[in-house]
Amino acid sequence: MRPLLLTLLLAMLALPASAASKDPEGDLKRVQQKIEQLQRAVRSDVAKQGELTSRLRESEEQVAGARRRLDEVRRRIRASDQRMRELGQERQRQEGRLAAQRDELAAELRAAYITGKEEHLKLLLSQKDPAALGRMLVYYSYFGKARAARIAEIEEAVGRIEALTAEENAEREKLAGLEKEREQELAAVDDARRQRQAAVNAVRGQIKSNKDAIARLKREARALEKLIADLRRALEQAPAPSGQPFERVRGKLPWPVPGRIVARYGQSRGGGLKWNGVLIATERGTEVRAPYAGRVVYSDWLPGLGLLLIIDHGGGYMTLYGHNEQLYKTVGEGVDAGEVIATVGDSGGQARPELYIEVRKGTTAQDPRRWFRGSGP
């Protein structure tokens, strides 16, 4: 009996905490609340690091907000353009239908004119069979009703065309307003970028020597390591995600963006620091796509990495995406493989648009190139 009890006890201990949970939704909600508290704590820490760091964060968040508003205006313009095309096509269909109905009515009227005004009298005098005469009179009444219906259809088509024309004019005015709004948002983006560049220059001006630069890199590295460790503790009670385990897709993942690797895992950064991920140079605004399904566990600004998004893939694995211009997902949201989660930028004080990628197993960084297909994007 004792060996059996021991076996059962060991089996229970081997199970993850989420497997024994009877309230996975409640567990997930509590984990999300912990992570949100963690994000607020990180923002508080950033504020304590000094005015220049806070100023950089605020300016880069302003850029993200202005870009988001601009993208929304552009989306509305595309929708308005599409609506204009649909209205134009519908008006053309109605105009074609109206022309066909007018031609048919004209043919009927010509036939009626040729028959003459005395058509009923001629019909009456020429018929010997009263039954045949009755049928012919009924047929003529049908023809008259058909002409009346045709006229009603024409009137309806004319009214529809007038309504479509009025709607087109209103949509054209709306489009003109959106174009003006787009110009204003473009100016807002440019202004936000100028403020951001001033903040970057101020931060760089604070660095007097290579020693100062290395000290700053070390502070940023410690901030990231603390964040990862805190996230790992917060995720201990998270329900296990469904689907294929992340570890089985090693070497099969698609790269989140196209581009060129400019810093590799394990490469020296100076002062004894090494890169824990890869840095990919690409175009500003390039869509960042999740390489694998998971749940967002961090979506905020972090010193050194700017606008950072972290996805938990289960089994202790996380992927990190830094230096984004915009973040499209918030903490707790699930993501599917291939879903757009952010756009590439230069946040975190970068000199050019780049995406930083890390793969973590627990708190240990792994070479991303071993997880993604090929030697690079």
Q: What is the pLDDT of residue 45?
A: 62
> By CB neighbour count within 10 A (0-12 exposed, 13-18 middle, 19+ buried), where does 292 fall?
buried
What does the pLDDT read at residue 7? 40
pLDDT tens digits for 269-281?
877 889 999 999 9
Write the pLDDT tens digit of every residue in 324-377.
999 999 988 899 999 999 999 999 888 899 999 999 998 899 999 999 998 778
pLDDT tens column, 156-176: 767 777 777 787 788 788 778
Please name the residue that has the structure tokens 């390489």: 291
Distance of CA 332 to the CA centre of its chain: 16
CA 211, 214, 220, 226 dihedral sign is negative
How many CB atoms are located within 10 Å of the residue 41 CB? 13
Ramachandran sector of residue 355 (left: φ over 0; alpha: ψ -120 to 50; beta: rest): beta
The residue behind tokens 């045709």 is 150
Q: Specify the pairing of strand 306-314 against strand 294-302.
A: antiparallel
